[in-house]
Amino acid sequence: MSKKFFGTDGIRSRVGIEPVTPETVVKLGWAAGSVLSRNTKGRAKVVIGKDTRISGYLLESALEAGLSAAGVDISLIGPLPTPGIAYLTRTSRAAAGIVISASHNPFYDNGIKFFSPLGFKLDDEVELAIEEKMQQPIITADPQNLGKAVRFEDAAGRYIEYCKSTFPQRLSLNGVKIVIDCAHGAGYHVAPDVFEELGASVKAVGVEPNGFNINEGCGSTDLSLLKRTVLEQGADLGIALDGDGDRLMLVDANGDEINGDQMLYLIAMHRHTNDELDGGVMGTVMTNLSLEHAFKLSEIDFARSKVGDRYVLSGLQERGWLVGGETSGHIICLDKNTTGDGIIAALEVLRVMVCEEKSLSELVQPLSLYPQNMINVRLEDSSKFDPSSSPEINSAVDDAEQYLGSKGRVVLRASGTEPLIRVMVEAQESQMAQQVSQSLAETVENIAKSRI
């Protein structure tokens, strides 16, 4: 059975378009409550958190109704970063955690993702069981068995203290000047406090959510505000979260962007030097080739997964490793949290800066990234087109790889969260990467539009 609703990161679409509609979300809540409470002794409890989108109120109420109908109690957390929901799910012994968010997408999109009792993304088998249950009519629990909803007390405070606890007690951020951009998202009322309480001088932007401005001209997908503010403030670094706070991008004191590959490099190298890496490093097919070469020189094992933090996590669990991440800024440190966590990843970087007494630019200087050029080919419905099934596209990719030889590589994939075909070309020379990616993107667009 293939999935109808769940994608690589839960369920996501424009609000009002299936599956993110009130009717379907009520059914989803009931089905999820029924499936996730099967192995729970006594009454099951589910925690629900969200980001700051206006549609969060609608979807929260719909989920609450469905879960209550299944006889499941609900703890409402309100706006909190996704990794905070994962943390509170496992520490409160809940049957599951639910996050209402579309991450880095615009406000008019929204989505729903689930965490297991241990704070990990649900296994495919559980998602399939929920989808199967959704095909059945809702059977409401007897009135005396309906679930009730309560507010989760001091959720933000508990998560703030947990984040702080991951930073070594012997260290302090005194004297470090930070700009943090919370993307008007879920981290707006927690992230600045974490860094301030550890001693940093903090300038916060993107902390005035109104339901519509999440990720708009700010956050990890638009660093212009952060770069400008870092330079104006003379800060040591800038931290940009995305809308749900599970990933980040950095800016150094010069206003230069530091991406997930560079963060992964400095975190892993510092741990390796101090015998704390405990295994290898997990990247994705998009991870820069220079990172793989750097790890090889330091005799650090490296492996790649498909794009998506759930695949990075799966790769880490299979190998028993601790550290992995994506170019986009999802950094997973399994000894700190069970999922990507933007605040904790930033603290890992700051730990390296403080311990080594070096600036961010100095720390990443040894890693010379190969130029990558990414072109997103937007389609009406990418689910109706698989680029790997086209002989013409496969032939074009083969030609491009032969042309690049050992000096580069090609990655062609459908996005798991948006109607896009991503064409990425990496080469030692920027002009070569641009030329090849543009040619491939034109081929993909022409063939895809003729098939849809």
- Could you list the active site residues? 103
d(CA 112, CA 20): 8
Whether 235 and 225 have beta carbons less than 8 Å apart is answered as no
Integer CA distances (angstroms), 111 to 55, 186, 376, in order: 10, 14, 21
Signed CA dihedral, 43, 44, 50, 53: sign only:
negative
Residue 309 CA, chain-centre distance (Å), reads 6
Measured in degrees and rounded to the nearest 5, phi and psi for residue 181 equal: -110, 115
How many helices (H) and strands (E) would you count in the chain?
A: 14, 18
Rounded Cα distance between 225 and 217, Å, is 7
CB 222 within 8 A of CB 229: no
Cα–Cα dist 274/19, whole Å: 47
Give every CB contact of residue 435 below 8 A, 6+ residues apart in sequence. none
Give residues with Cβ within 8 angstroms of 410, minimum separation 6. 397, 400, 401, 404, 424, 425, 426, 436, 440
440 within 8 A of 410, measured Cβ to Cβ: yes
| Angle, CA 18 vertex, CA 12 and CA 19 arms, to 5° | 50
Say whether the peptide bond before residue 371 is cis (omega within 30 degrees of 0): no
Q: Where are the beta strands (DSSP E) in 40-175?
A: 45-50, 73-79, 96-100, 109-115, 149-151
